[in-house]
Chain A
């Protein structure tokens, strides 16, 4: 029984994958270079600089900003979903290629080449990790080095989720310095700065070029045991670019050695503290450094909203539609074959318990990044409410009605179509409405893997501490959820038989 149900569900998922992929143009390999960046300001600035520089050389360059963390970006590069993205040598050695246990940065080149990926020389600055706290806290505790943390086991620590789990992150640090702290929480890097300010947190990890360190009067503890390696900033790019677009690689190499620690701190500060847009900061850098003028078009709110609405709606409509098409039959099977139904409902329930971010990441090897994995995840999440409600709607039909239909000599198919589904329609539609609202909300997470939508401005808003931007995503998302509800209310009027809506 287990095997059959699993086999069936695998088949279904495979079928859906094909269905989902077909209407979406897979990335056409035209002369368009895609530059990715991670979801922190420095990466976005470096991505934008590369994009504008390459664009000014005549090539078509698109910057897909804030695609996610290291794992997502590197996978996307391997899969050819992006061609270039900024990275750090320490991250390559200790996170991406951690299993190879490389001894020095010199070995990185060869290891990456095996994967079809090339690397530039350092851009001129080392953005290492640092462990830090507020200056007043450091003075009060009289500590200047990481090893002195050992005497303060009650400190509240907050690290980015990536830092908590990466090879050179918290676990390794704790081992090297024998740190006793137990109160360690994972949180967004930008939010951690705010928590530190609000005194909700004592210690966090810094990127040494972060603009916040001087702005908030923070203090970086000395890495007295030399735990953190060097994180020289570089660009990673697909090796095939050297042959197909040597001019792009050349442009990229112009940046080597040209961005000092002070300069990148300035750029970070311009975006994060002064609130300038990263496109303008990148353009100013290119003008001052290389005398290159790039045309920067700031997109107005209206067109930003239009684009986000379209992206969001595409994800929701395709994901939900596929969900409806698959879930209603699954619900029918569950109601008719209780044994199989037990597994179907259990299986869709398990999917629901997979954390959203994990589900998105699981989808990347199959679908790459951008919208398809988000749509596939939305599809999976929409299954449970629809399957469960279809099942409930069908099994709660009274035995008198069931018997009457059978006794008349209606065949099972006609009974289902003429009697059972109409009677269950209210319940089924309620399930679809739930799925719709869930899907609209969930689709905001699509921005984590470059799918765009309303989540994009929410993410950027969180990163830049810009409430207007957060609301620019949150309000339309709420409106869309209401609109979805409204649309299905209209559909309900058309679909639910009049006899079920009448009251005596």
Chain B
């Protein structure tokens, strides 16, 4: 469904991606993890055609992403970013149904879909008429997810969707999100920098460092069979805090 062949990209003469090869099959949930600046987000933007790679090929649904098919491909992909990216001039409902209106869906179908999604995302319908500025961070991310799912896309791309939330709200959303992934069974590629979150969502994890893929597999495999010293260091750095704390009273 998604394939990247030897993709390289530079941003202001700095190499952000170096010869990336990755393939994501239908229905897979893949987690991209790595330190900040490793090129995770850039990878998602390449798939959406927001960035054109300097070298290599990006294929979506078997087609190379180019100017001709870009709008069609984007409508088959749902995209959620850390801050939600909701349009502040539109209400929650208007944000969600924007693209359905563009696609000339009938009002009935739009209305039905809106309710379906509210239920799925556990979003109270009374908040649908509110503007983004009136919503909490968690509510905003739920709206962003609903907007991404509105056209029932085959692929979901999520760029640190829970990164900006308080721990409690984050936990609730993690649970809901995993259930939604399981229920919908869509091809999902999610970026996070949090090891526990990665492990929670999938055992198909891709660890990146400085624009390269270091290892792909489950977190357990990375712990037991690290590809190199960096993998161990990255994992220990995240586990260290939790394990190092002495809970003596």
- What is A's interface to B at a CB cutoff of 8 Å? 400-401, 403-411, 414, 418-419, 422-423, 497-500, 502-504
Contact = CB atoms under 8 A, between A and B. Distances in A.
Contacts of B132: 499
Nearest to A399: B85
Contact of B81 (A404, A499, A500, A503): A404
Contact of B98 (A400, A411, A418): A418
A400 B81 contact: yes
Contact of A500 (B72, B73, B86, B88): B88
Interface in B82-113: 83, 85-91, 98-99, 102
B50 A499 contact: no
Contacts of A502: 131, 133-134
Q: Interface majority SS on A: helix, strand, loop or mixed? A: helix
A414 B98 CA distance: 11
Contacts of A400: 81, 83, 85
A499 B88 contact: yes
24 contacts: A403-B45, A403-B50, A404-B85, A404-B87, A406-B48, A407-B50, A407-B77, A407-B85, A408-B79, A409-B73, A409-B99, A411-B71, A418-B87, A418-B98, A497-B88, A497-B89, A497-B90, A499-B88, A499-B89, A499-B91, A499-B132, A500-B89, A502-B134, A504-B134
Contacts of A408: 74-75, 79, 98-99, 147
Most B-side CB within 10 Å, residue of A408, A411, A418, A502: A408
Interface in B8-46: 45
A409 B87 CA distance: 14
A499 B135 CA distance: 11
Contacts of A423: 87-89
Contacts of A405: 87
A410 B79 CA distance: 13
A422 B89 contact: yes
Given A400-B81, A497-B89, A504 B74 contact: no
A499 B90 contact: yes
Contacts of A499: 88-91, 131-133
Nearest to B77: A407
Contacts of B72: 409
Given A405-B87, A418-B98, A504-B134, 10 more contacts: A400-B83, A407-B48, A408-B79, A408-B99, A409-B70, A414-B102, A419-B89, A499-B131, A499-B133, A502-B131
A401 B81 contact: no
7 nearest CB pairs, A to B: A404-B85, A409-B74, A499-B131, A497-B89, A407-B79, A409-B75, A422-B89
A206 to B, nearest CB: 65
A504 B85 contact: no
A118 to B, nearest CB: 66
A412 to B, nearest CB: 10
